């Protein structure tokens, strides 16, 4: 007897919808604030709302079409590489600065792909570095160093 295969969009939609709803419920204890003066609950509630909306859209799309889930082997190496990149980001950001840490994190994480393309990785690294600078330093005025501070 063959095991039943589900629909990848339905399963993903359910996962995103539940994740968004749970995060939204957990964030309700924080004050929301306004768009001009955001409270600690503003960001997680808005993001979880977007995730819930995205999950519902994927779920509806999955109910309309059939994309079977193809069973695949769990790739432990890729998971460990991505986790290493996240830890590296956390350890290096305040020490090495944004302009070194973000591209380095992207390059390390790109090794999780089975066929890494250097040109694509470098474009993503530059774009993500510029975006991160625009949002967190220029936009939110966070005190993140751009380059390492030599003592």
pLDDT in tens, 88-132: 999 999 999 999 999 999 999 999 888 888 899 999 999 999 999
3-state secondary structure of 122: helix
pLDDT of residue 71: 61
pLDDT of residue 62: 85
Q: Is residue 110 one of the residues assigned to a domain?
A: yes
Q: Is residue 102 one of the residues assigned to a domain?
A: yes
Of 64, 88, 108, the one marking the end of a domain is 64
Angstrom distance (rounded) from CA 125 to CA 145 = 18
Domain with 97, as residue range(s), is 76-139
Angstrom distance (rounded) from CA 32 to CA 24 = 11
pLDDT at 68 exceeding the cut of 70 = no
pLDDT at 7 exceeding the cut of 80 = no
Mean pLDDT calculated for residue range 63-74: 69
HSE toward the beta carbon, residue 59, CA cutoff 13 A: 13
pLDDT at 5 exceeding the cut of 70 = no
130 and 100 in one domain? Answer: yes
pLDDT of residue 151: 47
């Amino acid at each position: 007897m063959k095991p039943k295969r589900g629909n990848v969009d339905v399963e993903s939609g359910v996962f995103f919808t539940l994740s968004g709803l749970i995060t939204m419920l957990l964030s309700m204890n924080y004050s929301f604030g306004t768009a001009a003066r955001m409270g600690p609950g503003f960001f997680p509630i808005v993001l979880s709302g977007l995730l819930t909306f995205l999950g519902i859209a994927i779920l509806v799309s999955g109910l309309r079409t059939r994309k079977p889930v193809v069973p695949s082997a769990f790739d432990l190496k890729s998971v460990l590489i991505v986790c290493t990149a996240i830890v590296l980001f956390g350890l290096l950001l305040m020490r090495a600065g944004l302009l070194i840490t973000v591209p380095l994190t992207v390059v390390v994480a790109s090794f999780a792909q089975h066929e890494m393309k250097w040109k694509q990785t470098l474009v993503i690294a530059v774009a993500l570095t510029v975006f991160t600078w625009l949002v967190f330093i220029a936009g939110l005025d966070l005190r993140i160093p751009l380059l390492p501070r030599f003592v």
